[in-house]
Chains A and B, each alone.
Chain A
Amino acid sequence: MTSSPDCQILFHWLRKLPGNLAGVAITKDTGLIEDGLLDSIALLELVSFLEETFALTLPLEEFVPENFRSPAAILSLIRRLREPAADG
């Protein structure tokens, strides 16, 4: 897997999640919500982390489970929010 700086920063944060007691190896396709790693608390912390680290603003319509389902989905969200002028 190609490991962009974004990817490394995100995975570093995800590995520290308290829900990951078993120390499961997180891949780009890990079901973060489904497996209980990103619960209601962690999800808000992630949004704060993304907004501060990547200087983004998460609009309301992007606060949907699909955007946080997996690391791949989050990386795609980061890319999209960085290019607001691209209009899709």
Chain B
Amino acid sequence: MVSVPVPERSDVLVVGGGPAGSFAATMLARRGYDVVLVDKARHPRETVGESVLPGAWKYFDLLGVGEEVMRRFVKKAGGVVAWGDEITQIAFRDFAYDRPGLHVERADLDDLLLRNAERAGVRACEGVRAEDFTSAGDSATAVTLVGEDGRQPHRTRYLVDATGQAAFVARRLGCRRLDPDFRFVALWGYFEGSHYVSAGGIVRPFAELHSHPPMTFVTRLGGWGWSWHIPMRRVTSIGIVVPVEDYRRAAAAHGCLDDYFLATCRATPHLGRLIADARLVNGGVRVLRDFSYLSGTVAGPGVLVIGDAAGFIDPIFSIGIVMALYSGHLAAWTIDRSLRRTAMAETSRKLFAHQMRGRYELARTMALPVIEGDEHAAAAAYFDFFSQSEKELMWSAASMTTRSGNLVRASGGESGPAVLKRRELAGLHFG
């Protein structure tokens, strides 16, 4: 990758080259805007969040990368959840999708999307981070960028924060609000030689991955925790999500994080058997704590916040990448509408913020056991933007754990949602 000098001006400056940032940048460059994208890392770079729902295909198609994505990554047929004594399965083909979900190495997917953005005319500068910004109203945002050659001022008509968990804008403004109901820690690592779960709960050796598509496998862990199991092309991503207090207690007792993580995985029903012959590779365990938050603002004059930078709840339903692409699309539309019709800038921003809030509140109702206040109203209003099939997928997925009573209440299904397309499995079948 050739180092591009960091430009001093742009129509749109996107900070962060994940799926949200690359999507927004590509769409805006295609509309003729001068788009600069900076990322503190040099791609390909590792990140977590490897499970992708079929809702992402329409965005990949819009980018023109649908076929390449289909060719390169592991296709998944759906999900299997073991929650206490119940094991249930959902299959994407039951929800009007003509294509499967995916398990992707994010280093490769994100790099693919970023190179695609460059081909669309986006000027990407890697190894450059944003340090500070000042909004001087619409169409005049000053951003301080820091690269190898030191600090450099940049002026843009629109700053798009797509920095993920770094949450650049929210941290600068001091409005990154941790979710008080959801103080969790995620620990994850990559395994060689893990068995995996396929349709019907049939457990297979890793080598059969390409002849028998995997399911994303989720197990309950303790009272409110859970684990993920995501086989990819060479390794399997396995992670646990546990309450902060459980983690502190257990990690202190174990001393070494790798030991704690491995002991927990091996002691977890089903998961322990899947990894009986597997070993942790690629540098051991990764940790992320306090990852559930909402940004107090997602739209201001000349500034929009998208993807995980706008908020993140819980990865249990794999909605992160679809949410990121959606928010990238919404941001591109909003910025185009604002720049073409400057009188519409404020209305457009409000619409952006309103839609983003709806999506995040809906995600909260699905992931949290209990939420209070007026969030239900925002979630319920948003829920009706989805098709019947998408609603059925959300209801069915939510019914697989005991954490999603809020979704049923918010979607007006007090007496139970009408259609649950899930299958109960008698157990996992180890060969």
Contact = CB atoms under 8 A, between A and B. Distances in A.
Interface of A: 18, 31, 33-36, 39-41, 43-44, 48, 57, 59-60, 63-66
9 shortest interchain CB distances as A-B pairs? A36-B387, A65-B384, A44-B333, A34-B388, A60-B350, A65-B385, A60-B351, A40-B326, A63-B351
B171 interface: no
Given A35-B387, A35-B388, A41 B347 contact: no
B158 to A, nearest CB: 17
B387 A34 contact: yes
Given A36-B96, A39-B58, A41-B58, A60 B347 contact: yes
B381 interface: yes
A60 B381 CA distance: 13
A57 B234 CA distance: 51
A41 B96 CA distance: 17
Contact of A40 (B329, B384, B388): B329
Contacts of A31: 388
B402 interface: no
A57 B58 contact: no
A40 B350 contact: no
Nearest to B384: A65
Contact of A33 (B350, B351, B384): B384
Contacts of A33: 384-387
A36 B96 CA distance: 9
Interface in B172-189: none
Interface majority SS (helix, strand, loop, mixed), chain B: helix
A72 B330 CA distance: 25
Contacts of A57: 344, 347
A80 B400 CA distance: 43
A37 to B, nearest CB: 8
Interface string B63-81: 0000000000000000000
Interface of B: 58-59, 62, 96, 326, 329-330, 333, 337, 344, 347, 350-351, 354-355, 381, 384-390
Nearest to A34: B388
Contacts of A48: 333, 337
Nearest to B349: A60
A64 B387 contact: no
Contact of A36 (B354, B384, B390): B390
A34 B326 CA distance: 19
A33 B59 CA distance: 18
Contacts of B329: 40-41, 44
Given A33-B386, A33-B387, A36-B390, 12 more contacts: A18-B58, A34-B388, A35-B387, A36-B96, A36-B388, A39-B387, A40-B330, A41-B59, A44-B330, A65-B381, A65-B384, A65-B385
6 contacts: A33-B385, A33-B386, A44-B330, A57-B344, A63-B351, A63-B355
A66 B315 CA distance: 30
A39 B56 CA distance: 12
A60 B62 CA distance: 26
A64 B58 contact: no
A39 B333 CA distance: 15
Nearest to A64: B381
**Interface centre among B326, B333, B385, by most A CB within 10 Å?**
B385
Nearest to A45: B333
Contacts of B337: 48
A18 B58 CA distance: 10
A60 to B, nearest CB: 5
Nearest to B388: A34
Contact of B385 (A35, A43, A60): A43
A2 B192 CA distance: 65
Nearest to B337: A48
B112 to A, nearest CB: 20
Contacts of A34: 387-388
B354 A63 contact: yes
Contact of B347 (A35, A43, A59): A59
A49 to B, nearest CB: 12
